[in-house]
Amino acid sequence: MQDNIIRIGTRGSPLALAQAREVRSRLMAAHGLFEDSFEIVVIKTSGDRILDRPLSEVGGKGLFTKEIEEALLDCSIDLAVHSMKDMATRLPEGLTIGAVMRREDVRDAFISLKYNSIEDLPEGATVGTSSLRRRAQVLKLRPDLRIVEFRGNVQTRLRKLEEGQADASFLACAGLKRLGMGRDITSLVEIDQMLPAVAQAAISVEIKADGDQISQLVAPLNDQKTALCVKAERAFLERLEGSCRTPIGGLATIEDERIVFRGQILSEDGTNSFETSSAGPTTKAVKIGTDAADELLEAAGPDFLSKPL
């Protein structure tokens, strides 16, 4: 840290800034610090720059973290705040996850100005999304719907709905709640219908692996149950080598001191879907995730995830 100012790196979207401020507030409360002890450093990432193409065409995980991680490595910032679902399963050498904050609601939110739910959409209605997972899951439920590309932050996507560019869309419930926009949720989609993305609703604090002082600073922010669940989910994703180019859902919860895991892989058009569920002790989080991935790979066949989109 330089001049005792703690520099927090983040993207510049309203949601990313809300998450960075949440981390700052938690650190202030944990250590008796004041707001002027921190500087929020906004860093534009590749994912923020590329707005004219689907994310699946321009790269996998890391599009929203690469430049922030580079700033961590060159000591331009002291810690980074990410939506954990945006993070690659393998971090750059020299970096580590210092804390995983308590998870928000993991579900997806159905958003529409005309209809109340997925079931209420008329045949041929348009659904806007840039997520391959949501696209595949929606088409699995409703193959009659038409999917259109929807890029942008929360506010941009809501504006596109108001302009009539689609009849409905989906956003993470957690993001809307963190922005104080829960009123914009038309209805919540239960996980039996749409299994969330790996690590959805979890905020991570990334730090340098050799930064003992920062490690101690952020440690009080860690929620052990969330960290264990995300550990299982990310192990599942890593074994599948999943990225933005692969429709994958995964969710772990802790029930009676055991991890309960559900995983899903789909074809892009939703016509093929393979699901699994398992449970085990919290000490076996990684194994639970990797075993679930192996089970799905065996069921789907070796070429399922490598099929062209």
At 211 the pLDDT is 87
At 52 the pLDDT is 56
The span from the CA of 22 to the CA of 92, in Å, is: 25
Cα-based angle 37, 38, 39 (whole degrees, multiple of 5): 140
Task: Evaluate whether 49 touches 171 at the Cβ level (below 8 Å).
Answer: no
The span from the CA of 123 to the CA of 142, in Å, is: 9
The pTM (predicted TM-score) of the whole model is: 0.92
pLDDT tens for residues 72-129?
Answer: 999 999 999 999 999 999 999 999 999 999 999 999 999 999 999 999 999 999 999 9
* Annotated active-site residue in 78, 86, 167, 291: 86
Mean pLDDT, all residues of the chain: 92
Please give the class, per CATH, of domain 1-102+202-222: alpha beta
CATH number listed for the domain at residues 224-309: 3.30.160.40
pLDDT tens for residues 113-142?
Answer: 999 999 999 999 999 998 999 999 999 999
Please give the class, per CATH, of domain 108-189: alpha beta
Residue 64 has pLDDT above 60, yes or no: yes
Amino acid at 290: T
86 part of the active site: yes
Residue ranges of domains in the chain: 1-102+202-222, 108-189, 224-309
pLDDT tens for residues 182-234?
Answer: 999 999 999 999 999 999 999 999 999 998 999 999 999 999 999 999 999 99
In CATH terms, are 108-189 and 224-309 the same topology?
no
The span from the CA of 262 to the CA of 234, in Å, is: 12
